[in-house]
Amino acid sequence: MMQATSTASLALQAPGAVPTAAELEAKYLLPVYKQLDLEPVRGEGVWLEEASGRRLLDLYGGHAVVLLGYGHAGWSEAVARQARTMAFQSNAVPNGARARAAEALVAFAPEGLDRAFLVNSGAEANENALRLAFRKTGRTKVVAIEGAFHGRTAAAAAVSWRSERWYGFPRQPFDVEFVPRGNPAALAAAVDETTAAVILEPVQGMAGAVPLGQPFLEAARRITNERGALLIFDEVQCGLGRLGTPFAARLYGVMPDFVTLGKGLAGGLPAAAILARPEALPELKVGDLGSTFGGGPVVAAAIEATLAALIDETLMPRVKVVSRALFALRGVGPVIDVQGEGLLLGLRTRRPARAIQQELLSRDILTGTSDDPQIVRLIPPLILGLEHVELLKRALVDIGA
């Protein structure tokens, strides 16, 4: 792993030497990210390239953000056209790009999720979904799932598993109870008359691509209906075609009250959203929610272009085909199992995942890790092809058990 470059080392550089991006970041940014020894300067399709010309197969997709890959023609043109026309305007005035993005998003959503609120990040989407649930129910508690990650803002972090390691705030803003995944009885015991909402990721990302499973999701819907609580699906990482369907809610046939989105929603620009059933919303008035940059024109154009590409380029059927090929990597080299859905997958490895990640990186393949030390996480662009799976397979065979 790359170590942060010290300010002292910068002083020792030869006169006129141009500092690297890593050196400048070490000098000016807070040292809170563990970074790989890699500095891409451009991308094309599923490939990254360093200044030296080295090309790497990107199976991490910028943390599941680069949904359409790098340099997508339709996306790039839509963003550039909107930037030339009007780069930004606030929510204080209507905007055609924002209106079209909202229309496209609702049309793409499962039937019944008819209203949208546009924000900047998945954490912000989860924060506002929780706020709406508290406002609607007047209750004081949220039930979350062990292994969950919902973001780093105050409320989103409060419902993230083991966030006390980095939470930082003096207290949580509300009561939280965690239940084991796959345990409907524990969920039923936790959801009571004080519970405003159950929040869950249908496929947990940071936990290592762990599906909660249809029976558990169905139980969550039944229990929340019975107890008067709301159900929030956090699809920030697993939504938008990544599972081979538009949303996990559709894949599993379970309709939540809110779906939160982020990551790849705008194909590489900061964007997120809440989709809501109108019946689950509290009475809202002007000023109850807000976001300065949420739904800005350039980002809105990117959302519209991303959704159009998901549909027009038949990417979701492609995801299913490629996913089957990736599941066939069970038993190849260090891989003892494959878990997850679609293109949100975890390779369970015999040796620590970080070691396998480094060995793949030395073979020009970029992957991720997770909170599970034995899981190499794959969240590539949805344009990944079978030829790219073959490259990964060869690398795994070369690494060996």
Rounded to two decimals, the pTM is 0.94
Q: Per-residue pLDDT tens for 233-262?
A: 999 999 999 999 999 999 999 999 999 999
> Quick one: what percent of the chain has pLDDT higher than 70?
96
pLDDT of residue 13: 52
Residues 272 and 204: their CA atoms lie apart, in Å, by: 18
Q: Per-residue pLDDT tens for 339-373?
A: 999 999 999 999 999 999 999 999 999 999 999 99
The amino acid present at 241, given as its one-letter code, is G
Residues 346 and 357: their CA atoms lie apart, in Å, by: 12
Q: Per-residue pLDDT tens for 151-162?
A: 999 999 999 999
Which residues partner with 133 through β-bridges? none
Q: What six digits make up the tokens of 87?
A: 């780069």
Distance of CA 23 to the CA centre of its chain: 28
Q: With the CA atoms of 50, 389, 338 and 177 taken in that order, what torsion angle do they form, in degrees rounded to the nearest 10?
A: 50
